Amino acid sequence: MIGIFDSGLGGLTVVKEIIKKLPNCPIVYFGDTARTPYGTKSAEIVTKYAIENTKFLLKLGAKIIVVACHTASSTAMDKLKEVFPDVPFFEVVTPSMRKALALTKNKKIGLIATRTTVESKIYDRLFAQADPEVKLYSQPAPLLVPLIEEGWLKRPETRRIVKKYLIPLKMKGVDTIILGCTHYPLIKKVIQEKAGKRRKLVDPSEEVAVEVEAFLKKHPEFYTEGEKQEPKIFVSDITPNFERIACLFLGRRIKLEKVNLE
């Protein structure tokens, strides 16, 4: 069973991509809707939450853990691997970095993400190690998460804000932009339109799904083949609005089950 967690329901974009690749592998998802957002919180607190979320998924029988949340992927991985040394972890930052490196021609790469992800400087470190010639330009885009959760995917207000966030990256001449947040794949078309069609976008939900599939093919001991079934979705808080948001991200209605992590 694959365990996937996120600060909330945005990580269902990752669930959707993993289901496309592994439709018969059982999935259990935890969305920390009681404590969302993570993108405005400190690395320390996000790490604490990430450990609790992982414990919960392992208790349910998950054999591998996918950290769908970009903010947790940026801040909590060292600690998670230290606390759970035997668990294979997947995160969304490294595959996105690799894809961006493969796509860029001029080695100027842009990143849009939450503030905490940008401030973690994880991408700066990874690119510096992988290719010191890469220039990374990062832009926090904090207004996009609430706009997307409101379902304002194509509204003029959203388009204007996307345009504003992309101006500094375009002025630097980036040819590739990483969508560094669970939510952004939902407005990929608007981002592409405002970025210009020659700029390449990296969608982390697609990249991490490729990695998970490749790993499970190589390590069948972690793979559980089951009947095609709906993923089990647990949340730490439930409201009609969270149900609506889940539907937005997964593209269909799904039952949410409330759990208490304490």
Number of residues that bind ligand DGL (CB under 6 A): 17
Distance (Å, whole) CA 239 – CA 257:
11
Q: Least distance from C-beta 41 to ligand DGL, angstroms?
A: 8
| Residues from 25 through 44 that contact ligand DGL (CB under 6 A) | 36-39
Catalytic residue, chosen from 27, 62, 181, 256, is 181
Q: Does 205 bind ligand DGL (CB under 6 A)?
A: no
**Peptide bond preceding 85: is omega within 30 degrees of 0, i.e. cis?**
no
Nearest residue (CB) to ligand DGL, 216 versus 256: 256
Q: Least distance from C-beta 87 to ligand DGL, angstroms?
A: 20
Among residues 71, 94, 139, 158, the one that binds ligand DGL under rule CB under 6 A: 71
Q: Does 182 bind ligand DGL (CB under 6 A)?
A: yes
Q: Does 114 bind ligand DGL (CB under 6 A)?
A: yes
Catalytic residue, chosen from 69, 136, 178, 187, is 69
The residue type found at 130 is: A
| CA nearest to 204, candidates 106, 108, 67 | 67
- DSSP, res 244: H
Q: Please tell me whether residue 183 adopts helix, strand or coil conformation.
A: coil
Dihedral over Cα of 8, 14, 19, 20: its sign: positive
Among residues 19, 145, 187, 250, the one that binds ligand DGL under rule CB under 6 A: 145
Q: Could you tell me the CA-to-CA distances from 106 to 30, 166, 195 in Å, in that order?
A: 39, 18, 16
Nearest residue (CB) to ligand DGL, 70 versus 99: 70
Taking the C-alpha atoms of 28, 180, 146 and 27 in order, what is their torsion angle to the nearest 10 degrees?
A: -10
Q: Does 207 bind ligand DGL (CB under 6 A)?
A: no
Q: Does 47 bind ligand DGL (CB under 6 A)?
A: no
Nearest residue (CB) to ligand DGL, 212 versus 216: 212
Q: Could you tell me the CA-to-CA distances from 119 to 7, 110, 139 in Å, in that order?
A: 17, 14, 10
Nearest residue (CB) to ligand DGL, 8 versus 216: 8
Backbone φ, ψ for residue 142 (5° rounding):
-65, -20
| 69 annotated active-site | yes
Residue facing ligand DGL at closest CB distance: 39
Distance (Å, whole) CA 85 – CA 106:
38
- DSSP, res 145: H
Among residues 43, 69, 80, 97, the one that binds ligand DGL under rule CB under 6 A: 69
Binding region for ligand DGL (CB under 6 A):
6-8, 10, 36-39, 69-71, 114, 117, 145, 181-183
Catalytic residue annotation = 69, 181
